[in-house]
């Protein structure tokens, strides 16, 4: 089991690094292609930072480990709106983060609506091929409704043909590394879970979920440090929506058997609670301060204790 644990750690490291490089180059590609505004940032940046979740979930579904897939998606959303946002705030060393009301209203509405998608899934009882189609349609709807403009995204200087080619090659390589490392991560996590008698859903909702959220932590922290608050928060909200619609939808479509979601009821309710608390914090005064960031990190701590069964009697 020692070898499997080493491979999990190494694959998580490669996953985080390669995903970060993928994000870096896909942003350059969006500029090369002339794609600007919040639509480009929301779709390209959020999809790019959720590449680990995408490949882990797809690989899990193809391997017949649907529990790992759903646990990863829900756990990643909880991590994004709690510990990732909280840590990014403290790492950016800001006293508070104020969001642009005019730009941010639409994204807040998205977060509010997306908070109820897990509840909709829970009411259906299972994730089937048909439900997967509905979730993908939801993602397309959110993408089409995204505001067309965001402040803070800087234009790149004119790029030569050679630099464009290098950017495309780097992006392709980083995607390849993401694919390989995610496959290694899934295979060895399943092995460890089996040996320890731990449900795959718990592994997916904790270790893998946080590991695959590292690209969001990196990009959001950098955005906050550069005072691009709307861009950073847009990445978090976009990632949550991408996770719960596109990624979960594709996983359901590719899964050989319907996923029974009732065993994930506590995780789903925690996802809804986390997203709604974050929505409340931001919607009240359009800002996040130290107290609220600390509360978000604390919520993730409660979530971990809940997953480990230490405080399960509270829920």
CATH code (residue 69) = 1.20.1420.30
* Residue of higher predicted confidence among 185 and 314: 185
Residue 157 has a pLDDT of 52
Q: Could you tell me the residue range of the domain that residue 169 belongs to?
A: 2-314
Q: How many structural domains are present in the chain?
A: 1
* Lowest-confidence pick of 171-180, 219-228, 287-296: 219-228
Strands 96-98, 287-289: pairing is antiparallel
Rounded to 10°, the helix 229-242/214-225 angle is: 160
For 10-46, give one letter per residue: b (16+ CB within 10 A) or e: ebbebbbbbbbbbbbbbbbbbbeeeeeebbbbbbbbb
- pLDDT tens, position by position, 63-118: 777 677 777 788 888 888 999 899 989 988 877 787 766 656 767 777 777 778 88
CA gap 18, 144 in Å, rounded: 28
**133, pLDDT greater than 60:** yes
Rounded to 10°, the helix 51-62/161-196 angle is: 50
């Amino acid at each position: 089991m020692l070898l499997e644990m080493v491979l999990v750690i190494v694959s998580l490291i490669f996953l985080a690094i390669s995903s970060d490089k993928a994000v870096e180059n896909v942003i350059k590609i969006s500029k090369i292609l002339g794609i600007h505004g919040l639509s480009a940032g929301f779709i390209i940046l959020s999809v790019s930072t959720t590449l680990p979740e995408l490949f882990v979930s797809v690989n899990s579904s193809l391997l017949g480990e649907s529990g790992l897939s759903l646990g990863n998606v829900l756990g990643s959303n909880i991590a994004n709106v709690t510990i990732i946002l909280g840590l990014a705030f403290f790492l950016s060393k800001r006293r508070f983060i104020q969001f642009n009301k005019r730009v941010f209203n639409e994204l807040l509405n998205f977060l509010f609506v997306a908070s109820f998608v897990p509840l909709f899934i829970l009411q259906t009882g299972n994730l089937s091929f048909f439900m997967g189609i509905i979730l993908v349609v939801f993602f397309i709807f959110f993408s089409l409704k995204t505001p067309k403009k965001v402040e803070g995204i800087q234009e790149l200087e004119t790029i030569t043909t050679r630099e464009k080619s290098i950017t495309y090659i780097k992006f392709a390589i980083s995607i390849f590394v993401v694919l390989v490392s995610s496959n290694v991560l899934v295979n060895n996590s399943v092995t460890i879970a089996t040996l320890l008698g731990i449900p795959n859903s718990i592994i997916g909702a904790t270790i893998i979920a946080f590991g695959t959220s590292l690209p969001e932590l990196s990009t959001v922290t950098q955005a906050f440090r550069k005072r691009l608050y709307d861009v950073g928060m847009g990445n978090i909200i976009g990632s949550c929506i991408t996770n719960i619609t596109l990624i979960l939808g594709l996983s359901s479509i590719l899964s050989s058997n319907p996923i029974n979601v009732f065993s994930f009821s506590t995780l789903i309710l925690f996802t809804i609670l986390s997203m709604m608390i974050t929505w409340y914090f931001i919607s009240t005064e359009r800002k996040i301060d130290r107290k609220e960031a600390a509360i978000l990190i604390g919520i993730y701590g409660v979530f971990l204790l809940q997953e480990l069964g230490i405080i399960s009697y509270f829920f």
